[in-house]
Structure 1
Amino acid sequence: MVGMRRSLVMVVAAVVLAPLALAGCGDKKSGGTAAWAEPGADASASAGAAPGASQGPVTESADVPINLTVTPAVGKKDVPVSSEVGFTVSGGKVTTVSLTDAAGKAVAGALRADGSSWVPAATLKAKTTYAASVTATTDSGLTKTATTTFTTMGAVGKKTGTGLYLFDDHTYGVGMPVVVEFNPGIKKADRAAVEKRMFVETTPSQLGVWSWTSSGTQAYYRSKEYWQTGTTLKVRIAVGGLPTGGGRYGDRDRAATAKIGRDFRMTVDNATKKMVVTQDGKVVRTALVSLGRKSKPSVSGTMVVMDKLASTVFDTTDTDGAAGYKTKIEYAQRITWSGQYVHSAPWSVGAQGHTNVSHGCVNVSPSNAQWLFDKTLIGDPVVVKGTGDKLAYGDGWTAWNVSWAEFVKGSALPVPDSLK
């Protein structure tokens, strides 16, 4: 399937860690960078094979009406380590693909779900010669086999940094999009090739689509509705060694397998100055709030919890100078990159439910803040309504802040009508 749930026949995911940076209310986040742990073995996917299709040595079991060509071309050198075994076939269907390295060791991999190519389970080794064999079979059982050999390129100079905001074996809220980060951003002309290499498998199946921010620094994957409780997300961002434009190559593959937990949502209404909290469709708490004052309004939109800090310090003196402040904050939950949080604000309890006095954050009482902090997961939706400012796309994990029809427009690949 092109442009949406690009999974493989077999996928094995690995650990990827992504701690978040911090900014206070009113602060701007300077990049959204993340640190990463080494992943384990990935069995996953790649996209389009190297150009220059060529017919390698062919063996047939009979006079079979099968046309079969394989890529990379025979003897091709300097092949990206992201390459997969591509093929074109007519008169039959590919039934067997094998790949071995120079020592004859078999390389694990799997066919794409649409059967268009075979993807190595992990990035290939640099400066290594590989041999591939592809067999196609007719309905009557006759076969044709084509082979090729190719050599991968050496170490690359310029790389595109990547990040996956998903932890292996963690549980997230129903609004958690799959978030991938690129530094520098991917230009429009190069996004389709990169998107083909980003795979998501959901159990139970919930088809989704990738959508890019305008800068190309982030791509989000979501389904039409929030994830179902109990969903498993299995993700591989198979861009290690992939040409990403401008002479750069993806720094490495990243993968994670995570779970979706209970359906927990927070809805804040400026008109009532209240937050209504639901779990699995039932109201479980109502909390009074104070939002951003007129000069520093809170943003309206659909956000998700991105980070949780039991105790931190908001410091805006670097950006606001003498007008800034430095304050210890408890039970802070980030919802935008630009510095808006849900947090404890004992100094504004008297205003909560009546007047907006914050610098843009959602102020709640200490008891409500602690209760929320103990209940929430990263990825729980937070909807704010009726304020004087609108959430900007990309200011946080904003995949749910646009309609589905608008979201799919951000895909770099064609989206079937069935998913629009």
Structure 2
Amino acid sequence: MTKLHKRRGPLALVALGLAAMLTLSACSGDAGPDGAPGQPGSTDAQQTAATSAKLTVQPADGARDVAPADAAQVSIADGELQAVTLTNPDGKQVAGRLAEDKHSWTVAEPLGYGKTYTWSGTAVGADGKQSTINGSFTTVNPRRQVAASLNVGDNQTYGIAMPITVSFGTKVTDKAAVEHALTVETTPKTEGSWAWVSDTSAHWRPKDYWQPNTQVKVTANLYGRKIGEGIYGKQDVAASFSIGRSQIVKGDTRTHRMQVIRDGVQIADYPVSYGLDSDPGRVTHSGVHVVMSKHATYSMNNPRYNYFDVNVPWAVRISNNGEFIHGLAESMWAQGKQNISHGCLNLSPARAREYYDGALVGDPVEITGSTQTLSAKDGDYSDWTYSWAEWTKLSALAS
């Protein structure tokens, strides 16, 4: 199952409003003849060397509608922090981390929504003068909290074309800020990119198919982060999964055949009946499809062509436009000879079962030869319809 949790560890440093700047000491000099401060070059004025150390508190005193994902930190430019405390409304101290050089203190646990937090503590400048840390701020009270979802789960194994998707169920207004909170870690290292395929969904795919046996961890640190107007993340989500063996289906609608290639070796060559190419509503699309789900039986419905509740065995969905690889005994006479289906790849029930048993969600299915081409509108897993240059331009962080 996908992990759901609030963020742990330091929050990223983001400036929020005006920082509270406290001068620990100031320059002074002897009075001049008229009681004015001494000026350089005056015979009776002496300038005293001093240090101007500055204390920065973020969020600033009085800040309101602070996003919990934003910074909560105290830092000093010239001196040391002696003690820093951030207290919640119940009087409990918030966990924090003091840097080894004592130049900064950072919150180390998630802040709550709609709460007022109070700073206290002391710092000393390089000149030995002490300053008091104080002030308070209030976090935002969201109009709505949204839980994002992942399409991958812990300890699962997927095919080499598997995309990663983070779905929000609401419009994301600051895609760049949200994308900064999304990470993908891989072993071995894999080049890839996030892309916003819609206002509500970000996808990550590798530049090329995954290497077999790659280990992947995806993390979306969304708790406390602004997603839309008045809408904030409800929790973080994460999952760790594996990429399995390499398996690629190659099909050509003109030859009425479908080959299964596993780890570079062809393990099957099936006779197939593809979609009727002369009807744009029934044609099987050319392009890179991706296995989306598997069903031992599936009920097919197509009101446009007047059929309902047609149950087929060993159905493997490969797009959201109604294309499956499945068994159909009634079309065995045409399999390997003629394309008569309504877009699906028809196999005999026995061959469909054999393919079904070896298929993984995320396997690529590469179809060629038809008059219609798969496009981004044909489903959630149509990420491979984009060239790499097109894909990277869809990142909110693209320069």
Query: Does the alignment reach a TM-score above 0.5?
Result: yes
Q: Residue 338 and residue 72 in structure 1: after superposition, are their counterparts in 2 closer, same or farther (change >3 A)?
A: farther
- Indicate the residue corresponding to 1:82 in structure 2: 69
CA contact (8 A) 2:335 2:347 kept: yes
1:355 and 1:66 map into 2 onto residues whose CA distance is 83
- Indicate the residue corresponding to 2:16 in structure 1: 51
Alignment of 1:176-215 (within 5 A): 176-187=162-173, 190-213=174-197, 215=198
The CA RMSD measured in Å over matched residues stands at: 3.7
> For the pair shown, which has the larger CA radius of gyration, 1 or 2?
2
Q: Does 1:106 align with 2:106?
A: no
| Higher-RCO chain (CA-CA 8 Å, sequence separation at least 6) | 1
1:275 and 1:80 map into 2 onto residues whose CA distance is 53
- Indicate the residue corresponding to 1:164 in structure 2: 150
- Indicate the residue corresponding to 1:380 in structure 2: 363
Please report the TM-score for the alignment, with normalisation by the length of structure 1.
0.71
Shift of 1:166: 0.9
Per-residue CA distance 1:140-162 (angstroms, 9 max, x = gap):
xxxxxx998643223x2235563
CA contact (8 A) 2:85 2:93 kept: no
- Indicate the residue corresponding to 1:245 in structure 2: 228
Match 1:368 to one of 323, 341, 351: 351
Please report the TM-score for the alignment, with normalisation by the length of structure 2.
0.75
Q: Residue 119 and residue 245 in structure 1: after superposition, are their counterparts in 2 closer, same or farther (change >3 A)?
A: farther
Per-residue CA distance 1:215-247 (angstroms, 9 max, x = gap):
323221112111222222111222234222333
- Indicate the residue corresponding to 1:223 in structure 2: 206
Shift of 1:380: 1.0
Shift of 1:56: 5.8
- Count of aligned residue pairs for this structure pair: 348
One-letter code of the match for 1:51?
L
2:157 and 2:168 map into 1 onto residues whose CA distance is 24
One-letter code of the match for 1:203?
T
- The SS at the match of 1:39 is strand
Shift of 1:88: 9.8
- Indicate the residue corresponding to 1:127 in structure 2: 114
Per-residue CA distance 1:318-374 (angstroms, 9 max, x = gap):
xx3x72332111111111122211111211112111211111111122122111111
Q: Does 1:271 align with 2:254?
A: yes
Per-residue CA distance 1:141-191 (angstroms, 9 max, x = gap):
xxxxx998643223x22355632101111111111111112323335xx21
- Indicate the residue corresponding to 2:31 in structure 1: none
- The SS at the match of 1:325 is strand
- Indicate the residue corresponding to 2:241 in structure 1: 258
Match 2:320 to one of 328, 337, 341: 337
- The SS at the match of 2:168 is strand
How many percent identity over aligned positions?
34
Mark the runs of 5 or more structure 2 residues left unpaired by the alignment: 25-49, 79-83, 98-104, 121-132
Per-residue CA distance 1:386-415 (angstroms, 9 max, x = gap):
212221215231222221111101111135
One-letter code of the match for 2:138?
T
2:204 and 2:181 map into 1 onto residues whose CA distance is 13
